[in-house]
Structure formats: C-alpha cells, structure tokens
Structure 1
C-alpha cells in the first residue's frame, strides 16, 4: 500500500509541475481520437475526412479552451452531413446550436467528460463515465453527457441509414429531410434508456458521496456501478429494448474501475483517524468531523551496504593515510 501511495504522490507532483504541457497533450489526443472516430463512421466529405486537417484541428484544440473540442467536432459532423443532405445538416446544426445555448446558459463545463462520453459511445459503452461524473461534479455534469449521447445517436442514425438516404435523396420531401434527425432521436428507445440510467446513476453517486459517513466514496462507486447495471437490465427486459448484455456488464465494470482510480488520486483518506470537535460563536454551535488525508513523504534515502570487502578497503585507506589502529 505504501508503494501505491508513493506512486500516487509522484504522479500528482509530476502533474502539478508540468500541468500546462500535460493538459495540452491530453487535449490534443482527446480531440484527435474524437475527430478520427467521427470521420471513421461518417467520413462522407473528402474535405474534412483528411488526416492532415484532423491533426491540424487537434493541434488548435490543444492550445484553446476545452469547448473548442466540442466546436470542431460539431463542425466536422455538419460538414459530413452536408454531403448527405443539406436539410439534415441544417436541422442537426439547429440541434447543436441549442446544445451550445444550454451549455453557455448553465455553464456546466466538463467538456472533457463530454468528449470522453463520445468516445465511449463509439465503443458501445456509454455508461463508463457516469460514476466518475457523479464523483467529479454531480448533477451539473448530466448536461454535457446527455449532449454527448445525443451527438453520437445522430451520427449513428445517419450512418446506419446512409444507403437509404443517398438512394432516395430525390424522392424525400424537404420537410421529411428536416424532420429526419428528430425522428432518429424520438424513436431511439435505447438512447433514452441509457440517458435515464446515466442521469439516475450520477444523482445516486453524488448523493451518497456527499453523506457524512465512513467510506462514502467507496459506497457511492459501488452503488453507482450496481444501479447503472440494474436500471438498464430493467429497461431491457421490461421495455423490450435490445441491448448487448455483455457490453453492459463490461461498461459497468470499466466505469467502476475508472471511478476507483479517480478516487485514489483525489480522495485518499484515513477513516481510522477520524476526529470530532466542536466550537461556538455568538450565534451557533459547530460540530466538526475531521478526516485526515493519507499522505506519504517521498524522501530520498541512501543505503550503504556494509560487507567484509568494504571493511578491508576502509582499513587499507586508514593505513595509507598514516592512521594506524591502536
């Protein structure tokens, strides 16, 4: 355990020392993966489906605010949708505008969580980020994660029906083309089930971790992992929605592991040394519960191994310097 704590302190110190460079590199690779996944599924436009353009946009994202990742992701999606249908691209653009409007009104932040959610959606494991989101910020993270799920659903819906859309492009009316993205969302029961599970999981995790009980974070992680699985299982069997149960369980396990790792790095406390104190002022009595953080000092210790050979060498050095043993 001490070795893990030392490793934790080294990682934290390294991050705090080089945080600017680490964050920039992280944003670059995060945006690069998102854009490559988007072009891999809906790369209909030769203009944006260009690796050099993708790398260039990712480099720009590395030195801008995290919201740039969301902006360029939407730009690439719309550019690809224009190659399918301008009407569909316009409607999706309106939906994206509404999402950004909500983002700036409520200021939920956590664009990193939204980008990670998109990646996990492409991996068919959208719930991996739910427990971590509940630990990080709570219900406010619901907004960007829901938008990420909707974002992926639109991409998947258009790519799944691309052959139909491209073959009937001249026979479908303009109004039908505008409504098509809304049909994708309204008729996608699986998406609504996932959103419901994510929302409830985030709220459960946040509620439990706020409790003043021992090991609240550990309990929150376990409860969130189990609740996400049970909610989707009920939705699958009661709502008669097809879901890959294997990926569901893998998603829950991966999410629990990610949350445990996050907890280890940001909330390592020793409940065995909990202290209680109280004090007062003119208006109130205060009862305080103090739980100490687990900290390990990373000190450099030099160890000298003493052997028979070392003793003989020291004796010879004494003799040569004129110092004789009595």
Structure 2
C-alpha cells in the first residue's frame, strides 16, 4: 500500500512538471475565483460588483499574471465595498493595504497568498489548520502576512456592526466609522489572542523544523499543535472567550494530517540509510549527516510474445521444405551439365 502511494506521488510530480504550462494557470484561475467569491461574502456591501461573471473574467486574467496581482485585485474589491459604507474606513483600508504591500508583498509574492489564505480560512472556520503548516512551509516570513490576514478577517466582522451603526445613526460625522473600528480592535481580546498565538506558533514551528535532527519535522508538528492548543485554552480561560473546544481539537487532528501530507510530498527521509561524512580544511572540521529521501521507481515491464508450438513446427517444416527444394534444383542443374 505504501509503495502504491509513493508511486502516485512520483507520478503526480512528474505529471505536474510535464504539464506545468497548463496546470498552473488552471490552478491560479480556480484559486482566484474562489478567493474573490469568499472576500465578497466577507464584505457584501456593494451589490453592483457582486457578480460571478466579473470574478470569472478577472480570474481568467489572473491565470497569466503573477500571484501578487491577486492581492491588489482583492484589495480593490474590498475598497469598493467599504466605499459603499464609509469613506473614512475606505481611506483607512487604503493606508493598510499600502503598508502591507511595502512591508511584505513586494518582498516575496507568496506573502500575498498567505494573507489571502489566512483571511479565507478564518471565514471558513478552519483557521487552526494554518499556524504549524505556515511555519513548516514558509518560516519566519509568514508571521507578518498571517497577522495581516487575521486583521482583515476581524475587520469584516467589525464591519457588520459598523454598517448597522452608520445606517441607523441620525448624526454620523466623518471619522465615526473608522473610530468605531479602531475601538473594537483595541478592546477585542480574541483578536489579541489569535495574533499572539499565530505569531508564536509560526516562530516555534520554524525553530523546531531547522533543528539538526532527521526527525525535527515530526517534533515540529506535534509540539506546534500542542503549544497552539495550550495558548488558545489559556487565552480562553483568562479572557473568557467563546471559541469551541471540540472544534479546536478536531482541527488539530486535521492540521496534523495536512502537515503529514505536505511533508510526504516534500519528501520523507529514510533514516535506515543515514550516511555520515567528515572532512576538514585549514580552519574547521566538518561533520555531515546525509539522510536520503524515500523514493520508489516503478519497474518497466518488457512483454515478449511467444508463439505456440504448432506454429513453430509449421515454420520449421516450411524452412526445411524450401531448403530441400533448393538442393534438388541445384542437383538437377549439375547432372545436365
């Protein structure tokens, strides 16, 4: 069973590399369309732009553009929806988007994906799957974009209250909506707990993954998830938060499975074939431990067709007959001469 899974992994990797020019644009199109629909669901205030056809056209364009362009598309989508509610909140989000772009989106394109995925996973109630996985895949660089994604999601939650307030208020002045958003962020202990937990878990997981030990990734998975549960339970106890315990443990199990799947496709070391080497130069001694990755190549099968015995006898008989006829013909010619 394990060999078949490894065969499938190798086949999938080869298939992706062979057809990357087709597979990658399709994946980018599906991802862009899905995330745009999710963000429109998080900020559903402008019905003019709430049309799947518009999202599909933009996603088709995104399929052939760098992934960081999707960050700017989604930012504009959120701005259009915020414009419908409050001008001051719109301006505040413009400043936030510019800061994020200068701080980490321009540094690495995958940081834009982290921000987007973090906000979407919170919206889908699957946020506990992320911290350990981000620490394993990205490392320390995932802390800032993940924190920005948490803030974007909580902004969508606060906007429900602010839009109701601005709609029912008879005397709404400029800056009232943004002030309300800032006040909610400052007093929301749940936001604080998630920001601290995500940052610490990404930091701890990254440190454990970089230990000089062949099974460091295994310790990172379990210790990272256990630490996340302890931090969230501690925050729930101290601040009397309302997130559900059963969902936390269920997503922890799912998160461990996701980490194992990622590590399997990246390559698991065969610790039974560890090789050690040492060498030196004028200043240092070097000791190297090499752990080969588990790889299984499927054997090529050569099939040889073997004809039946009757056919072989017929062929052999025909050959003998031809040779006999040739010999008789040569003998007759010799007698005539």
Runs of 4+ off more than 3 Å: 104-110
Partner residue, 1:318: 312
Q: Kindly state the Cα deviation for residue 81 of structure 1 after the two structures are TM-superposed.
A: 1.0
- If the length of structure 1 is used for normalisation, what is the TM-score? 0.90
Unpaired runs of 5+ residues, structure 2, are 319-337
CA distance in 1, matches of 2:242, 2:162: 18
The structure that has the greater radius of gyration is 2
Q: How does 1:1-326 map to 2 (within 5 A)?
A: 1-104=2-105, 107=108, 109-168=110-169, 170-302=170-302, 314-323=308-317
On the 8 A contact 1:190/1:241 being kept in 2, the answer is yes
Q: Kindly state the Cα deviation for residue 105 of structure 1 after the two structures are TM-superposed.
A: 6.6
Q: Residue by residue, what CA displacement relative to the aligned partner does 1:140-189 show, whole Å, maximum 9, x if unpaired?
A: 11111111111111112103443233222x42221322323322322222
Q: Residue by residue, what CA displacement relative to the aligned partner does 1:180-214 show, whole Å, maximum 9, x if unpaired?
A: 33223222221221121111111111111111223
Q: Kindly state the Cα deviation for residue 100 of structure 1 after the two structures are TM-superposed.
A: 1.6
- If the length of structure 2 is used for normalisation, what is the TM-score? 0.87
- Structure 1 residues 26 and 105: CA distance shift in structure 2, 3 A: closer
State the secondary structure of the residue aligned to 2:300: coil
CA distance in 2, matches of 1:301, 1:159: 63
Q: Kindly state the Cα deviation for residue 323 of structure 1 after the two structures are TM-superposed.
A: 5.0
CA distance in 2, matches of 1:303, 1:240: 70
CA distance in 2, matches of 1:252, 1:214: 23
- Structure 1 residues 13 and 196: CA distance shift in structure 2, 3 A: same
State the secondary structure of the residue aligned to 2:131: helix
Q: Kindly state the Cα deviation for residue 315 of structure 1 after the two structures are TM-superposed.
A: 1.6
CA distance in 2, matches of 1:60, 1:271: 46
CA distance in 1, matches of 2:168, 2:286: 71
CA distance in 2, matches of 1:267, 1:142: 25
Q: Kindly state the Cα deviation for residue 280 of structure 1 after the two structures are TM-superposed.
A: 0.8
Q: Kindly state the Cα deviation for residue 253 of structure 1 after the two structures are TM-superposed.
A: 2.2
- Structure 1 residues 17 and 88: CA distance shift in structure 2, 3 A: same
On the 8 A contact 2:162/2:180 being kept in 1, the answer is no
State the secondary structure of the residue aligned to 1:64: coil
Q: Kindly state the Cα deviation for residue 23 of structure 1 after the two structures are TM-superposed.
A: 2.3
- Structure 1 residues 186 and 108: CA distance shift in structure 2, 3 A: farther
Considering only aligned residues, what root-mean-square deviation do their CA atoms show, in Å?
A: 2.1
Unpaired runs of 5+ residues, structure 1, are 305-309
State the secondary structure of the residue aligned to 1:287: strand
CA distance in 2, matches of 1:70, 1:220: 30
On the 8 A contact 1:129/1:255 being kept in 2, the answer is yes
CA distance in 2, matches of 1:163, 1:247: 30
Give the length in aligned residue pairs.
Answer: 317
Q: Residue by residue, what CA displacement relative to the aligned partner does 1:237-286 show, whole Å, maximum 9, x if unpaired?
A: 12212212232223322222111111001131101111211001122111
Q: Kindly state the Cα deviation for residue 19 of structure 1 after the two structures are TM-superposed.
A: 2.3
- Structure 1 residues 302 and 114: CA distance shift in structure 2, 3 A: farther
On the 8 A contact 1:120/1:126 being kept in 2, the answer is yes
CA distance in 1, matches of 2:317, 2:144: 79
Q: Residue by residue, what CA displacement relative to the aligned partner does 1:113-143 show, whole Å, maximum 9, x if unpaired?
A: 3322222111122231211111112111111
